[in-house]
Structures are given as C-alpha cells and as structure tokens.
Amino acid sequence: MSTIQVENPANKLSHQEVIWIISGVVVAMFLAALDQTIVVTAMPTIGRALGNPEYLPWIITSYLLASTAVTPLYGKVSDIIGRRVTLLFAIVVFIIGSVLCALAPSLLILIIARAVQGLGGGGLISLAQTIIADIVSPKERSRYQVFIAGVYMSASISGPLLGGYFAEHWNWSLIFWINVPLGIFALLMTNGLLKKLPRNERPHKLDFLGAALMALASIAMMLALSWGGIHFPWGSIQVLGLFAVSVLLWAAFVWRLKTAEEPFIASDILGNSVVAMGTIAVMLVMGCYIGITAYLPVYMELTFGLTASQSGFSLIPFMAGTVVGAIIAGRFMAYSERYKRPATYGLIFSIAGLGVLATLKTTPGIWVVEILMAGLSIGLGTIFPTTTVSIQNAVQPYQMGTATGVMGFFRSLGGALIVAAFGAMLFSQIPNLSALQESSGEKLAQIVASGEIHNAFRPMFALAAGVLALALAAFSQMPEKALRGKVSVAEVVGE
C-alpha cells in the first residue's frame, strides 16, 4: 500500500473554526464524563421510584461495561470511515439512550437503556481527543489538553451536585433529559465544520472477531471486578469463573492478533514503545485518580466528621489541581524538547504526598490533607496531556483513532481494576465501612475523635503510592520523540 502527501485540509481552517470544532467536541466529551458522575447522587431516589433497589449499582455498571468495551472499536472505525460520521453516530446513540433512560418505566429498562447510552458514550471521549489531534499539531496540541482536564474536573464537581438537586427538587429523569439539548448543541457545533477535517482514512478491514473477543474479555473482567467483594466474595465461583473466562478470551484475542489478515489492533501500534509504555503509565495514573476521587470523600467524612455535601466541596482542590497540572505540562510541551520533565517530577511529587499520608500515624489537620491532595492532583494532571500527545505523535495519522481508542480503553479498564483494589484494601481495614458512613451523632463523634479512621486508610494511601511508582517506572521507559510541528496528512492511492 503506497501513500502520497497531499495538501493538508487542516490548513484551511481558521483559528476561529479550530476553536469552534474543539468547543463542539469538548461538549460531546462533557456529555460522557457527566453521565459517569451525575447518576450517583440520584440513585436512592431512582430506587424509590422504580423499585428493586438491590440492582441500583447496575445503573452505573451497565454504562461502564458498554462504554469501555466499544471505546477501541470507535477508534478503529474512525480510522476506516472518518471521524465525522463516527462522532455523529456516537452522539446520536448517546442521545437515544438518554431519552430511553428518561422514559424508563422500570429499573430493568433503565439498566438496558444505560447500556445503550454507554454504547454512544464510549466513543465520545476518545474521538474528541482524536479530532483535536487531527487539526492541531503535536507541539501545539498539549495546550488544548487543558480543555480535556477541565471537562473531567467540571463533570466530577457538577455531576453529583446536579444529580442530587434534580432528584430532590425536580425529577430524577432530568439527569437524562439534560443530555438531549447538550447533545443537539454538540451536533450543531461540529456537523458542518467536521467536513473540513483532514482525511486520513485507509481502506481497512474491520476484524469483527477480534473486536468481539476484546469486548467480551473486558466485560468479563469488569464484571468480576464490580461484583467481587460486594455481591460475591472474591474467592467465590462466580468471581473466579468470570476471571477465568476473561483470561481465556484475552488469550483468544492475542491468538487472533497473530493470525488475522488485518488484526483489530495493528502489531506496529502494540509494538510501539511510546504507545505501550505511555498507555501503561496513564492507565495506572487514571486508576489512582479515580480511586482517590471515589474514596477521598469517605475519608473526609469519617476522619473530620464532614457532611456529604461538605466532603463533596472538599474535593474541589483535588479536582482543580488536575487542571493546573495539565496546564503546566501543556505549556512546557509547547516550548521544550524535554517535555517529559514536568510529568516525571509531578509523579515523584505525588508519590511523596501519598507517602506522607501513609506514614503519618496521627490524623493530620484537614488543611494539611487538602494541601497534600491539591499537590497530588497537580502531579497527576501533568501525565494526561504528556502521554496523550506522545502516543498520538508516535503513530501515523491513519492510526490515530486506533491508538487513541486503545489508550482510552486501558484507561477505563485500569480505573475499574485499581478502584476495586482500593476498595478491597479499604474494606479489609474497615469491614463495616457502609455502617460507619451511616452513623451519626455521638457514635460518629467518637470515631472521629479516636483517629482510627486515618490509620485504616493508611494502607490504601500506601497502595496508591505503589501504583504511581509503577506508573513512574513505565513512564521513564517511554521514549521522548520530537513533537511534530505541523499536522501531517497521508492519502491512500493504491496497493
């Protein structure tokens, strides 16, 4: 297969058009990020309205399973037929799933509708990152990663607040209806201008068997992680059986990669040291980030006696720090050839902060915790733009969607794996954690005064530091290739 260089259509985009496209895809990305958080605080209300509250966790699980499984598929398809059609399809599926969720008459229908929503949401984040890569050179692209960090921060903060407010003062269905105008807005902002995107497609063959094996393997693994220690003991036949099925399916997927005429993920992508090491590093960091986001409010409530809303606001320094870290790394990448330095130092700083919390035997003051968490998140924030831009810079333009989709897939999978590990560690230290969260009055005051909660969280902080140390080891092995200063486009003319 031969290629020739053609005039880059991205050069025809004005600065205003670039900003307009990025704004549109960021709105699409916000849809997916928001729906991972907005449901949490509305779940008790949904359970009372629809019944069967024991199945409420499946509202989150079904979305997570579907979105994670299809993320690499969207990347591959966008490399084949183009970003515009693929993104518009993802937004439309997401909107349809949102309407079905809002109209769901029972919890079972809502769970199924959430899976449909996840099928659309799985493409929004990775496709948004890929489209930004199509129109902005690697050297300038890191600046725009700040928008992505801002999306996650705003969704993490506004999601629980909006979900709780809608459920308490209006109707729980509004948490899904809100996606309809946002989705239509994203469609209108991107549809026309996306036609001007650079054309990097090649006449690929989609390996449906490989895609199915990868999706089923990830679903089996995530089911085991979501059920283990909660619905079934970790050593139960159900959890161990799912892990065994996942291992067998992953083995079959590896076999398929070696034997398929055109495998689902090309060998030169998997064998690329930048892609491999960068993906491992960001997978571990994202897992640590999500795990701390999930359990930090619990720590703040039980250690300092904060209310649920107060603990939510205590997350703001942690969330804001991520954006600060992304800005620092993005600016540095634009001006320095040694662009790995901020992320390297950031990870070291984050490990040190967690080490302090893990070694302190007495409860630190609340402001000490807030400062440490802000510094920790600044360090974590530096890794996201650095790895994303490095991975996209290391592959050919026609492989951009696949590489970004693979990275997004393992980020989600790493989040599920590490959150489960954090939960298992925490529940081993505090077996009655749920009961403690529901305690009030004198009993909770005694628990807070004793300082035992901090000591129970110390092993989790130590585990988080260990995870980040592994991330640092992988990141140090990621080659620091020079960033391209221009967007390059190749067009296929024959085989």
The total number of residues shown for the chain amounts to 495
Say whether both 180 and 315 belong to one domain. Answer: yes
Best CA proximity match to 292, nearest among 482, 463, 94 = 463
Which residue would you say has higher pLDDT here, 6 or 240? 240
Residue 422 DSSP SS3: helix
Confidence of residue 115 (pLDDT cuts 50, 70, 90): confident
C-alpha–C-alpha distance, residues 123 and 90, integer Å = 6
Confidence of residue 145 (pLDDT cuts 50, 70, 90): low
Say whether both 410 and 364 belong to one domain. Answer: yes
Asked whether residue 5 carries a pLDDT value surpassing 50, the answer given is no
The structural domain count of the chain equals 2
Contact 386, 340 (CB under 8 A): yes
Say whether both 86 and 108 belong to one domain. Answer: yes
Confidence of residue 335 (pLDDT cuts 50, 70, 90): confident
Q: What is the pLDDT of residue 8?
A: 43
Contact 199, 489 (CB under 8 A): yes
**Centroid of chain to Cα 447:** 34
Give 166-180 pLDDT, tens digit per residue. 766 787 788 888 888
Give 186-217 pLDDT, tens digit per residue. 888 777 767 766 555 555 667 778 878 888 88
Listed in sequence order, the residues at least 6 apart from 417 whose beta carbon sits closer than 8 Å to its beta carbon are 221, 225, 287
- Among 261, 294, 324, the domain boundary falls at 261
Q: Which helix (H) or strand (E) holds 181?
A: helix 179-190
Q: How confident is the model over 393-410, as a mean pLDDT?
A: 78
Can you state the angle between helices 366-381 and 383-394, rounded to 10 degrees? Answer: 10
Q: How confident is the model over 400-406, as a mean pLDDT?
A: 78
Token pair of 368 as six digits: 């000490």
Give 262-320 pLDDT, tens digit per residue. 777 777 777 788 888 999 999 999 888 888 877 887 788 778 877 666 776 777 788 78
Say whether both 398 and 307 belong to one domain. Answer: yes
Say whether both 454 and 430 belong to one domain. Answer: yes
- Give me the long-range contacts of 303-308 (CB less than 8 A, separation at least 24): 303/363, 303/369, 303/448, 303/453, 303/454, 303/457, 304/366, 304/448, 305/444, 305/445, 305/448
Say whether both 251 and 299 belong to one domain. Answer: no
C-alpha–C-alpha distance, residues 55 and 74, integer Å = 29
Chain mean pLDDT for the chain:
77
Say whether both 187 and 256 belong to one domain. Answer: no
Q: What is the pLDDT of residue 102?
A: 87
Say whether both 125 and 198 belong to one domain. Answer: yes
- Among 227, 261, 295, the domain boundary falls at 261
pTM comes to 0.75
Asked whether residue 245 carries a pLDDT value surpassing 60, the answer given is yes
Say whether both 363 and 393 belong to one domain. Answer: yes
Mean pLDDT lowest among 94-103, 136-145, 276-285: 136-145
CB atoms within 10 A of CB 257: 18
Q: What is the pLDDT of residue 52?
A: 67
Give 347-356 pLDDT, tens digit per residue. 999 999 999 9
Q: For position 18, which CATH number holds?
A: 1.20.1250.20
Say whether both 404 and 309 belong to one domain. Answer: yes
Q: What is the pLDDT of residue 495?
A: 31
Token pair of 86 as six digits: 């693929």
Q: What is the pLDDT of residue 139?
A: 64
Best CA proximity match to 156, nearest among 18, 40, 24, 17 = 40
Say whether both 440 and 379 belong to one domain. Answer: yes
Compute the CA torsion angle 444, 435, 163, 50 (nearest 10 deg): -140
Confidence of residue 235 (pLDDT cuts 50, 70, 90): confident
Which residue would you say has higher pLDDT here, 143 or 457? 457
Contact 270, 257 (CB under 8 A): yes
- What is the DSSP pairing of strand 2-5 with strand 490-494? antiparallel
Confidence of residue 238 (pLDDT cuts 50, 70, 90): confident
Listed in sequence order, the residues at least 6 apart from 320 whose beta carbon sits closer than 8 Å to its beta carbon are 153, 374, 377
Amino acid at 274: V
Domain extent at residue 240? 207-261
Read off the DSSP letter of residue 35.
Answer: T
Q: What is the pLDDT of residue 191?
A: 72
Say whether both 211 and 310 belong to one domain. Answer: no
Listed in sequence order, the residues at least 6 apart from 148 whose beta carbon sits closer than 8 Å to its beta carbon are 26, 29, 128, 129, 326, 384, 385, 388
